[in-house]
Amino acid sequence: MSDKAVVKNSGGLGETVSVIVQALLLALVIRTLLFQPFNIPSGSMRPTLLEGDYLFVSKFSYGYSKYSIPFAPELFSGRIWSGDPQRGDIAVFRKPNDTSLDFIKRVIGLPGDKIQMRSGVLYINDVAVPREKVGQIDNPDITEASGPVDVYREVLPNGITYDTLDLIPNSVGDDTREFVVPAGHYFMMGDNRDNSSDSRFDVGYVPIENFIGRANIIFFSIAGKASPLEIWRWPSELRFDRLLHSVNAAPNSVQKN
């Protein structure tokens, strides 16, 4: 009697469930340890980041805290494999007085720094950060304003350069008290200086434990408050010039005076 090769169909509900579970676990590992997608819901980081931008945040840049894990379980305190945020980084963090909220701002002050705004000029340790008017933006999609908006370029002490919007001259955030950043904390500000809830106001100093990760790359961007699922709106609302751009290199359409 000759041997017969028998092929067994191993498919079925059990195998399907196993594949789904493995895929979910892999996605969880990637989200927790490597990259997490975020979308920008407000205009506080204009013109660098716009509402409708979707970006990846590097989770390993600053190490891991309980906020790196979904639902932030109390498994440990502090950070594991901690890396220090650098001045000028755009970072996602949990708001200190409401850790259910994710915020995204730029790191301006490091532990021990003295931070102050004087007549719209940023001072770090009593030294003015160079600030130059580079032109205007007259595009409501970028500025959320009905007319041209002045754009100022700042250069931080470590050479990081970025643009800020000046929507309201002499606004309440243009002149502040001096802030002394405590040990283990950071001072965060939005690039849209007159429309940002940040460390000058109710956000306060951000503990290192609250950092989730560093913003990395814009992988999708859509205007008009459209959902990415509204594919029929892509031809008119998709921002093609922002796709796959570094958050530090997003175009901003500055018009020179």
**105 is an active site residue:** yes
Look at the block and give the residue holding tokens 């283990």.
184
- Whether residue 253 lies in the annotated active site: no
DSSP designation for 242: G
Which residue is catalytic, options 66, 105, 196, 199? 105
Q: Under a CB-based contact definition with an 8 Å cutoff, are residues 238 and 224 in contact? A: no
116 contacts 123 by C-beta, under 8 angstroms: yes
Determine whether 107 is exposed, middle or buried from the number of CB atoms within 10 Å of its CB (0-12, 13-18, 19+). buried
Q: Find out whether 142 and 125 touch, Cβ atoms under 8 Å.
A: no
The torsion angles phi and psi of 22, rounded to 5 degrees, stand at -65, -40
**Catalytic residue among 44, 65, 196, 199, which?**
44
The DSSP string of 6-36 is: ------SHHHHHHHHHHHHHHHHHIIIIIEE
Query: CA angle at residue 156 from 152 to 160, to 5 degrees?
Result: 90
Cis peptide before 47 (omega within 30 of 0): yes
CA 164 to CA 28: how far, in whole Å? 35
Q: Which are the catalytic amino acids? A: 44, 105
